[in-house]
Amino acid sequence: MATDWQVKVHKDVLKKQLPLLKATGLISDYEDIIGILKKNPYENIRSREKLSPRNKQIFSMRINSKHRVVYTIEKEKHLVKVWSAWSHYEKGMPK
């Protein structure tokens, strides 16, 4: 049986973006994506995209047509880091 992935969520997502997702009724979609990331962050569902630059392992999954969860994958550590869950890619790209 495969081991679940660890998911770490950036503090800005926790403090600023989760309240917005709750207020707009999108929190269940966000939680669904977190569940997917814990099981298999490479699963190609919810319009998953690999973002540029491709060598950085930056991905996104669609919450709805306006908002996406932006995350990176550290395969060796079995770790997914969530950088953004509000708006589109530009505002939540890891440096």
pLDDT tens digits, 9-46: 999 999 999 999 999 999 999 999 999 999 999 999 98
pLDDT at 90 over 60: no
What is residue 55's predicted lDDT score, i.e. its pLDDT? 79
Furthest C-alpha separation in the chain: 37
Is the entire prediction scored with pTM above 0.85?
Answer: yes
What is residue 9's predicted lDDT score, i.e. its pLDDT? 97
What is the average pLDDT score of the chain? 90
Long-range contacts of 70-76 (CB under 8 A, 24+ apart): 70/94, 71/37, 71/41, 73/41, 73/42
Q: What is the set of domains in the chain, with CATH numbers?
A: 6-88 (3.30.2310.20)
